[in-house]
Amino acid sequence: MSELEALWLGIVQGLTEFFPVSSSGHLVVFQTMLDVHLEGLLFDVAVHVATVVAIVLFYHRRIGTLIVGVLARDRGALRYVGKLALATLPVVGVGLAARDLITAQFSSPTLVAVLLIVTGGVVWTTRFTRKENGLEEPGWGAALLIGLAQACAILPGISRSGSTVAAALALGIAPAAAAEFSFLLGVIAVSGAAALVLPDLRYAAPEALSAVTVGSAAALVSGCLAIWLFLKMLASNTFHYFAWWAWLAGGAFLAWQLV
């Protein structure tokens, strides 16, 4: 993979990681159309880590408050972090139990196209569930359900942010609080995936490391822009418009596969 291809894929990752249109699904689409072949999930996880950095930049105050609160044994901070931990358990279980099976799905472009269409349907539900929401954080049961939604999004084509935010809104969580919980949950999930894959960097060729570096930088910059736009659209009740893009991308890619 050339550095230019890595740049484009990094931009795609950064924009689509936070937009509810499945970053992993779009990476498969672009890799297929550009005929780029990557070794395992190394590049995918590396650019995901870059978007985690973007989350930390946007939510550094909240993250700092939680860290200080946990160290001070503040009940509110401990409760919130506990809910994040609970919501993480489903994706950890699925990831450990079916890692090889999940990896294989990244080589199935047709499945990715179908799941992108499914993501559109999930995101469209937010048009009806956003109203009357006022809870500032999920309860324990809601946190587990949001975690189950995230576990479903381990498949390429199912949006993690779309699934978790849609689930949170359906459970009565306020839009800003739903986004915050989803993003902070993503920090844990992606960091865990990176811990499993990034050691492979030791065996990567210098050319591969260069591509990873370029792609990660592009993902970081575009990811910061995407978070800002994501929050703007969620606040203005236009979040469900992303469904049209997921339907268009999935439908067009499916048609391209069948031609």
- From first to last of the 259 residues of the chain, give the pLDDT tens digit: 678 878 887 888 788 878 888 877 777 777 777 676 554 456 777 787 888 898 999 899 999 999 999 999 999 999 999 999 999 999 888 867 766 666 665 567 788 888 999 999 999 999 888 666 678 899 999 999 999 999 988 888 888 889 999 999 999 999 999 999 999 998 887 777 667 666 666 666 666 677 788 888 998 999 999 999 988 988 888 889 999 999 998 898 888 877 7
Q: Give how far Cα 178 sits from Cα of 128, 186, 203, 222, Å.
A: 15, 12, 39, 22
The closest of 59, 71, 92 to 183, measured between CA atoms, is 59
To the nearest 10 degrees (0 to 180), the angle between helices 109-124 and 160-170 is 30
Q: In a 3-state reduction of DSSP, which class is residue 54?
A: helix
The closest of 141, 108, 89 to 31, measured between CA atoms, is 108
CA distance 133 to 24: 29
pLDDT of amino acid 242: 92
Q: In a 3-state reduction of DSSP, which class is residue 173?
A: strand
Would you say 167 and 146 are in contact if contact means Cβ atoms under 8 Å apart?
yes
Q: Give how far Cα 59 sits from Cα of 3, 63, 143, 160, 227, Å.
A: 30, 6, 19, 18, 10
CA distance 259 to 253: 10
CA of residue 246 relative to chain centroid, distance: 14
CA distance 10 to 44: 9
Q: What is the DSSP letter of 201?
A: G
Identify any residues that bridge with 135 across adjacent strands, giving them in sequence order. Answer: 173
How buried is residue 204: exposed, middle or buried, by Cβ count under 10 Å (0-12/13-18/19+)? middle
Q: What is the DSSP letter of 153?
A: T
What are the structure tokens assigned to 20, written together?
A: 């509810």
pLDDT of amino acid 67: 95
